[in-house]
Amino acid sequence: MSESPVNLDELRNRIDAIDSEILRLISERAMCAQTVAQVKTADDPQAVFYRPEREAQVLRRIMALNTGPLDSEEMARLFREIMSACLALEQPVKVAYLGPEGTFTQQAALKHFGESAKSLPMAAIDEVFREVEAGAVNYGVVPVENSTEGVVNHTLDSFMDSSMKICGEVVLRIHHHLLVSSTTRQDKISRIYSHPQSFAQCRKWLDAHYPQAERVPVSSNAEAARLIKTEWHSAAIAGDMAAKLYGLDRIAEKIEDRPDNSTRFLIIGHEDVPMSGDDKTSLVVAMRNQPGALHDLLEPFHRHQIDMTRLETRPSRTGAWNYVFFIDFKGHVDQPEVAAMLEEVRVRSAEVKVLGSYPQGVL
Ligand SMILES: C=C(O[C@@H]1C=C(C(=O)O)C=C[C@H]1O)C(=O)O
């Protein structure tokens, strides 16, 4: 064998030295974060350590500074975990999510808060709201829209009855796999379990590959994964977390019909979040039932050049033909032009409820 041009031992010694340095710096950072916690509690013993706007700024700064060879998202993910561990030193963030364990919502919760957060599965979206409202957890994570299937009505409806604030958003690329257990007869699959949204997102693939199999809708992908453990003729459609949790094999990967399939989740909590420099705001607006109402509502957004990113209509539940609008736009309520626009919308509408201003999803 020819002599390698670089000396492996030398390189490994260098890596060891770099690791010692990284270790020292991470510990120094953790001590700094501990001091921040002391400063925060000195002012207010009930202070919440977690600051969504600051975390978004830290991650954005790292991504802007990064020059490779690791890509910026990968680098931000590493820093996400460092921050999560630093925060957990003081007080692990407790997060309720739409369960069961192994769902995409849990994946979204961990992506947003890092692996050191304590995540607790809830059986339904309104339970997530209730748990946050009761103060049993610091934050909640619920799905709100999918790029293929549209809005999660249950989440929007929950906001109408709740005083919870939106403190953040997280977008997750959703990859579905066809999963089987070690005892499944792969040539005899006659039944496939999944959540109705997942079936809808994989419809074409299923029509092409398993046209004869019975599609059985269940309450979550994780539940689908759990069920097939004992059925030799069944498969499940679910994501990586569920596959790992139940020790299942992927016989077909990334079977979603659209390669850009993603779901947006909202983080709900008690506090208003200060500006991070790149924020979004969500509103619910009830309009008076009169001609031109929608035009009147949209006109101030246009005039103040505010970028609306979403507009959804839902029945208001107060009268047979009254509607409310869920609106997302870029900007924060503390920005003067946003405040001016909101004032005009208030005058023109029956009711405006600001659900929250929060940092745009970073990762
Ligand atoms: C250290 C702070 O507290 C927490 C920890 C952070 C960090 O590790 O960088 C950032 C924001 C907070 O969630 C802070 O507010 O600066």
The Cα–Cα gap between 36 and 31 comes to: 9
Kindly state if the Cβ of 77 falls inside 6 Å of ligand 1: no
**In Å, how far from its chain's centre is CA 333?**
22
Using a 6 Å cutoff on CB, does residue 33 contact ligand 1? yes
Q: 246: buried, middle or exposed (CB in 10 Å: 19+, 13-18, 0-12)? A: buried
Q: Are 326 and 156 in contact (CB under 8 A)?
A: yes
- What are the phi and psi torsion angles at 182 (to 5°)? -65, -20
Residue linked to tokens 């003067």: 336
User: What distance in angstroms lies between residue 139's CA and the mean position of ligand 1's atoms?
Assistant: 16
CA-proximal residue: ligand 1, atom 10 (nearest):
55
Distance 60 CA to ligand 1 centre (A): 14
pTM of the full predicted structure?
0.90
pLDDT value of residue 219: 87
**Whole-number pLDDT of residue 319:** 66
347 CA from centroid of ligand 1 (Å): 39
Please identify every stretch of the chain with a pLDDT value under 70, giving residue numbers as ranges: 1-5, 319-321
What is the number of residues in the chain? 363
Alpha-carbon torsion (100, 102, 106, 108), positive or negative: negative
The reply to whether ipTM tops 0.85 is: yes
Q: Are 105 and 98 in contact (CB under 8 A)?
A: yes
Six token digits for residue 49: 């350590």
**In whole angstroms, what is the distance from residue 222 CA to residue 324 CA?**
33
Nearest C-alpha to atom 7 of ligand 1 is from which residue? 83
Torsion of CA 298, 303, 304, 305, to 10 degrees: 80
Does the CB atom of residue 54 touch ligand 1 within 6 A? yes
Give Cα separations from 225 to 7, 146, 157, 194, 245 (angstroms).
Answer: 48, 21, 28, 8, 9
d(CA 95, CA 138) in angstroms, rounded, equals 6
Nearest-angstrom CA–CA distance, 195 and 143: 14
DSSP bridge pairs for 122: 98
Handedness of CA 288, 289, 290, 292 (dihedral sign): positive
Distance CA 35, CA 30 (A): 9
User: Is the backbone of residue 331 left (phi > 0), alpha (psi -120 to 50) or beta?
Assistant: left
Q: CA-to-CA distance for 40 and 122, rounded, in angstroms?
A: 31
What 3-state class would DSSP assign to 260?
A: coil
pLDDT for the residue 290? 80
- The pLDDT of residue 289: 77
> Strands 139-146 and 165-173, how do they pair?
unpaired
DSSP summary character for residue 137: S
Distance 267 CA to ligand 1 centre (A): 17
According to DSSP, the β-strands at 139-146 and 94-98 are parallel
Q: Contact, 40 vs 47, CB < 8 A?
A: yes
Q: Which domains does the chain have, with CATH numbers?
A: 4-89 (1.20.59.10), 92-174+262-269 (3.40.190.10), 177-252 (3.40.190.10), 279-359 (3.30.70.260)
Distances (CA, A) of 362 to 34, 63, 64, 172, 230: 24, 9, 12, 11, 40
DSSP-assigned letter for residue 165:
E
Name the maximum alpha-carbon separation found in the chain.
Answer: 84
